[in-house]
Amino acid sequence: MKKLKITNLSFSYTGGDPLLDAVSMAFNSGKTAILGPNGAGKTTLLSLLATALHANTGIVELKHGAGSVQFTNIRAYRKHVAWLPQDFVPVEGLSVEEHVRYSAWLKGASRKEAKSAAPIALEQVGLTEMAMHKATALSGGQQRRLGLAGALAHDASVILLDEPTAGLDPNQRERFQKILQGMDPKKIVLVSTHQTEDIDGTFDSVLVFDQGHQKFHGSVSEFMQLGGDQHVDPRDRIRAAYGQLVMGER
Ligand SMILES: Nc1ncnc2c1ncn2[C@@H]1O[C@H](COP(=O)(O)OP(=O)(O)OP(=O)(O)O)[C@@H](O)[C@H]1O
């Protein structure tokens, strides 16, 4: 069995048509870029995996160690899952460092573990010097890095990052790529992104999602093969592959 298995997941927003209709897919360890046009359902999928939204039907099962846990067992499941939502907003009244400690503690880290994990996570995202600042006083890009630090500060086996590089300057985007590259390869990391140029060299797999359906799910090299042979520039191959799967239909 794959480590994270989604079976027949269906979801509709209240009063709306089904957005996800019996979606099944599975993920092993490694980093997956989730691509798709605006409104494709990427945030909805990640929110369902984070249990911030509740599916109409279907099962998500996470294998860990010798056992497994289903997402309906919310308390136990959530301890294994870190999530940076698309609309992350810091909690009022906490400093940057307190915020990261709080995020780790919420996920089951002891106070002592959270205290030692926070400076490491802040260093990873380049916010060490802001540790004593008020979290709500950070700029938009800094707040996204704070959210990322919170997701990195505990030992989750699944990390869900919804557009983590949105609003980051080029240096910080590069830093984020390095953070991803340095992550434990045993973790399952799912990252929703519109930045196709960052895929080669950073991710292992690609999932293309459109209109609530999976259009492609495979390795980065399989994805790139759709966009031309090896003589073509890698970024052009990625753009062409994406265009074929999504834009070509419009
Ligand atoms: N709270 C909501 N209530 C009703 N419909 C919603 C809600 N949130 C999202 N939708 C609709 O669900 C669909 C999928 O949205 P979602 O945010 O999951 O897409 P996305 O792929 O993440 O898009 P983007 O790339 O723009 O972030 C869209 O048609 C959107 O309008």
In this predicted structure, the answer to whether residue 11 has a pLDDT above a threshold of 90 is yes
Q: In the structure, which protein residues have their CB atom closer than 6 angstroms to any atom of ligand 1? A: 13, 16, 19, 36, 38-44
Tell how far the Cα of 239 is from the centroid of ligand 1, in angstroms: 23
Ligand 1 atom with the smallest distance to the CA of 45 is 18
pLDDT in tens, 45-99: 999 999 999 999 999 999 988 899 999 999 899 989 999 999 899 999 999 999 9
Q: What is the 3-state secondary structure (H, E, C) of 81-100?
A: EEEECCCCCCCCCCEHHHHH
Q: How far is the CA of 67 from the centre of ligand 1 (A)?
A: 33
pLDDT in tens, 123-172: 999 999 999 999 999 998 899 999 999 999 988 999 999 999 888 889 88
| 94-119 pLDDT per residue, tens | 999 999 999 999 888 889 999 999 99
Calpha distance 149→161 (Å, rounded) = 11
Interval 184-227: pLDDT, tens: 899 999 999 998 888 988 999 999 999 988 999 999 999 999 99
What are the structural domains, with CATH classification, of the chain?
Answer: 30-50+81-249 (3.40.50.300)
First to last CA, the chain: 36
b/e code 77-97 from CB counts within 10 Å (16+ = b) = bbbbbbbbbbebebeeebebb
Q: Which atom of ligand 1 is nearest to the CA of 40?
A: 21
Report the alpha-carbon distance of residue 194 to residue 36 in Å, rounded. 7
